Amino acid sequence: MSPDRPRGTPSRADYLRTWSSLHGEVPTTGLVGWWLTFTYALARPLAVLRISPHLVTILGLDVAALAWPLAATGPAGRLFAALAVVASGVIDNLDGALAVLTRRVTRWGYVLDSLCDRLADACYGAALWAAGAPGGVCLAAVGLSWLQEYARARAGATGMTRIGGVTVAERPTRVLITAMFLVGAGLFPQRGSIWVWLGAFAWLAVGAIGLLQTLVILHRELTEPGERHLPVLSADAEDPDGTVDIRENGRTPSRDPVRGRDPAGDRDPVPGRRRPPRRGPST
């Protein structure tokens, strides 16, 4: 064990390996590896203190929410809003790293983190709007980011486990665009409205490209040879248990879904043939 690593804390290599497996075997090299190493260094002291990852997730959303009112208070407020956006982005990575380091990766944590990320995206768009950007453009930009993540979520529900690729509109890009143009609006107040307008339209353009990239990636991953098809009922589908109603395909079920027999009682499912009468219990 490394002398500078707290006892019981996974090593950096273990963390990178676990992170990659949780994100569809994404390579942890280059800029991604550098960022994960930075996040690991920040999360390690929190892991020693056994801080809850859920608490960090909520904290990240709270910090993101501060950007909205700060951006409406003038040039200095826009600078503080940019700082809040960057801080929330860093905290957003901390909760996942902390969950891995404390071995508390849960399905509920995944859902909570995704929900808070979408709300934080809305706060970023609201900050640009509060600083003077057109509301419709901000709303459309946030909507595109939500659509991108929703498409991925639906692909995951079909059984897709790999991310397949990284687009130009990932969350760090949204954080960077929002913070950069808020800083410009704060440093150059005479043209502050131009800066936030450019920021909103930049997010919109990048979001459109990112959504298109995501759909192309998902189409490739979900239609590759040997894909697993979802079960779909057809007009000729058989129903051995008599429990599925396929009348939506224009047919009446041949058996009662409750009793497992012909709904007409004595009529045989084969047309033109009568079923023998049932005999009562012997006495």
Q: Which residue numbers are catalytic?
A: 117
> What secondary structure, in 3-state letters, does the chain show?
CCCCCCCCCCCHHHHHHHHHHHCCCCCCCHHHHHHHHHHHHHHHHHHHCCCCHHHHHHHHHHHHHHHHHHHCCCHHHHHHHHHHHHHHHHHHHHHHHHHHHCCCCCHHHHHHHHHHHHHHHHHHHHHHHHCCCCHHHHHHHHHHHHHHHHHHHHHHHCCCCCCCCCCCCCHHHHHHHHHHHHHHHHHCHHHHHHHHHHHHHHHHHHHHHHHHHHHHHHHHHHCCCCCCCCCCCCCCCCCCCCCCCCHHHCCCCCCCCCCCCCCCCCECCCCCCECCCCCCCCC
